[in-house]
Amino acid sequence: MRVKPEQLAAHLSKAIQPLYCLYGDEPLLIFEAADQIRLAARQQGYTERETHQAEGRYNWQNLLNSGDNMSLFGDRRFIDIRIPSGKPGIEGGKALTNYVSALPSDSVTLITLPKLDKQTTNAKWFKAIEEAGAVLAVYPVDLAQLPRWIGERLARQQQQADNDTLQFLAQKVEGNLLAAQQEISKLALLFPTGKLDFANVRDAVLDVARYDVFKLADAMLNRDIARIIRMLEGLKQEGEAPTLILWTLTRELRILTQLKTAQANGIRPTSIMREVGVWEARQSLVERALDKVTLTALNQALHLAATTDRLIKGWEQGDIWATLQQLALTVAVPSKT
The residue among 191, 177, 124 whose CA lies nearest residue 146 is: 177
Q: Are 177 and 152 in contact (CB under 8 A)?
A: no
Say how far apart CA 276 and CA 31 lie, in whole Å.
Answer: 7
Q: What is the pLDDT along the chain (337 residues), one digit of tens a residue?
A: 899 998 999 999 988 999 999 999 888 899 999 999 999 999 999 998 899 999 888 999 999 988 776 655 667 899 999 999 999 999 999 999 999 999 988 899 999 999 999 999 999 999 999 999 999 999 989 889 999 999 999 999 999 999 999 999 998 888 889 889 988 988 998 889 999 999 889 888 876 445 578 888 889 999 999 889 988 988 888 787 898 899 989 999 999 999 999 898 888 888 888 778 787 778 899 999 999 899 999 999 999 999 999 999 889 999 999 999 999 998 877 555 4
The residue among 252, 248, 208, 215 whose CA lies nearest residue 230 is: 215
Beta bridge partners of 51: 80
The domains found in the chain, sorted by start residue, are: 5-138 (3.40.50.300), 143-206 (1.10.8.60), 209-332 (1.20.272.10)
Say how far apart CA 151 and CA 145 lie, in whole Å.
Answer: 10
Residue 121, pLDDT score: 95
The residue among 33, 61, 37 whose CA lies nearest residue 49 is: 37
Rg (CA), the chain: 22
Query: Which residues, 6+ apart, have CB-to-CB distance to 197 below 8 Å?
Result: none
φ, ψ of residue 198 to 5 degrees: the values are -55, -45
What Å distances lie between residue 222 and 153, 330, 331, CA to CA? 33, 12, 9
Residue 66, pLDDT score: 81
Q: Are 2 and 92 in contact (CB under 8 A)?
A: no
Say which DSSP state 24 is in: E
Residue 335, pLDDT score: 54
Residue 205, pLDDT score: 82
The neighbour count for residue 318, using CB atoms within 10 Å, is 10
Say how far apart CA 267 and CA 276 lie, in whole Å.
Answer: 13
The neighbour count for residue 127, using CB atoms within 10 Å, is 12
